């Protein structure tokens, strides 16, 4: 299990950064209002205004902004406002030792999956897979409420009270929960940030991919021998796949039923109006019979 990070308190300052595609600063109003609702102050990073082709500033600018937020003792959390593409380009240059010495909340999802993998492994810290601040006006109240887990240690319990769940394969597993966006997880293969799956529970989610593309990505994970070592699988939101749920679940069964591990689908984690935030790098229990996922707190 990774080290948890210090919890937030009302009045704390958080840093807003764009480590991937360019942000649209004029659309940050909802995000800022939401932070104020939570009782948080904020610093807007240089990358929020920056643009360099399809990136939120050059690699050097994005790296410097991230390091600045890590170094600043006033900043207690780093919130990514936008996904897209680009975080992998700075992963190799990040000072993970600096982050380990200055542990703080790192929050985001989608493209930031690459940095979740990197920070979990190289700074040995828990990170948070949750809605990007730019989308805060498009998520529901339950998803907003999940930000409260940053203010005091709370065990999360996901049951069918939140959304209907489907057991793809039976069983009960305990292990560190890791993962995120399927494409970005596949992007780590063959790099020093390659996702480590042994004895772990893997979360996967995806947006706008066809079934053949999802199949190809799962096949790559399988051939990289990442599936046979898993303890369990949590299947999050697969939105805009151009196929109905039955086709997607049949594909998941094809890959996961012979592994002898619990696999459950239907979790609202990912690109959807309900996007339940969870800590990555903490212990979790997945029970496919009871259809429940319990996750230990990510803060102390």
Residues 160 and 38 in one domain: no
> How would you label 239-248 residue by residue, b for 16+ Cβ within 10 Å and e otherwise?
eebeeeeeeb
Domain finish residue from 113, 131, 150? 150
Residues 163 and 287 in one domain: yes
Give catalytic residues, as residue numbers.
110, 205, 271
pLDDT in tens, 78-135: 999 999 999 999 999 999 999 999 999 999 999 999 999 999 999 999 999 999 999 9
Helix (H, G, I), strand (E, B) or coil at 261: coil
> Which domain range does residue 104 map to?
13-150
Residues 216 and 186 in one domain: yes
Domain finish residue from 150, 172, 193? 150
Q: What CATH number did the domain enclosing 209 receive?
A: 3.50.30.60
d(CA 60, CA 75): 21
pLDDT in tens, 174-229: 999 999 999 999 999 999 999 999 999 999 999 999 999 999 999 999 999 999 99
Q: How many helices (H) and strands (E) does the chain have?
A: 9, 14
pLDDT in tens, 38-93: 999 999 999 999 999 999 999 999 999 999 999 999 999 999 999 999 999 999 99
Domain finish residue from 150, 178, 209? 150
pLDDT in tens, 234-257: 999 999 998 899 999 999 999 999
242 located within any domain: yes
Q: Are 165 and 276 in contact (CB under 8 A)?
A: no
Residues 24 and 131 in one domain: yes
Q: Are 94 and 71 in contact (CB under 8 A)?
A: no
Centroid of chain to Cα 46: 23
Q: Are 168 and 253 in contact (CB under 8 A)?
A: yes
5 located within any domain: no
How many structural domains compose the chain? 2
37 located within any domain: yes
pLDDT in the model for residue 242: 84
Q: What CATH number did the domain enclosing 89 receive?
A: 3.40.50.10740
Q: Are 76 and 13 in contact (CB under 8 A)?
A: yes
d(CA 11, CA 42): 10
């Amino acid at each position: 299990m990774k080290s948890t990070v210090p919890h937030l308190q009302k009045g704390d300052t958080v840093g807003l950064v764009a480590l991937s595609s360019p942000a649209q600063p004029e659309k940050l109003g909802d995000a800022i209002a939401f932070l104020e609702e939570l009782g948080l102050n904020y610093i807007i990073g240089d990358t929020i205004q920056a643009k360099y082709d399809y990136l939120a500033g050059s690699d050097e600018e994005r790296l410097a902004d991230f390091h600045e937020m890590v170094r600043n003792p006033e900043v207690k959390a780093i919130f990514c406002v936008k996904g897209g593409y680009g975080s992998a380009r700075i992963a190799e240059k990040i000072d993970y030792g600096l982050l380990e010495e200055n542990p703080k909340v790192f929050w985001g999802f989608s493209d930031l999956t690459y940095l979740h993998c990197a920070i979990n492994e190289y700074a040995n810290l828990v990170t948070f897979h949750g809605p990007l601040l730019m989308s805060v006006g498009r998520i529901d109240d339950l998803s907003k409420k999940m930000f409260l887990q940053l203010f005091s240690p709370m065990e999360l319990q996901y049951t069918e009270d939140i959304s209907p769940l489907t057991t793809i394969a039976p069983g009960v597993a305990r292990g560190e929960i890791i993962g995120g966006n399927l494409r970005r997880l596949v992007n780590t293969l063959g790099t020093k940030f390659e996702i480590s799956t042994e004895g772990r529970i893997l979360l996967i989610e995806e947006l706008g991919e066809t079934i053949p593309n999802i199949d190809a990505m799962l096949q790559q994970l399988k051939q990289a021998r990442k599936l046979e070592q898993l303890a369990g699988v949590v299947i999050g939101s697969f939105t805009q796949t151009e196929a109905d749920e039955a086709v997607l679940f049949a594909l998941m069964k094809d890959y996961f039923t012979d592994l002898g591990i619990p696999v459950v689908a239907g979790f609202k984690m990912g690109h959807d109006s309900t996007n339940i935030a969870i800590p990555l790098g903490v212990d979790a229990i997945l029970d496919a019979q009871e259809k429940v996922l319990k996750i230990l707190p990510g803060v102390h």
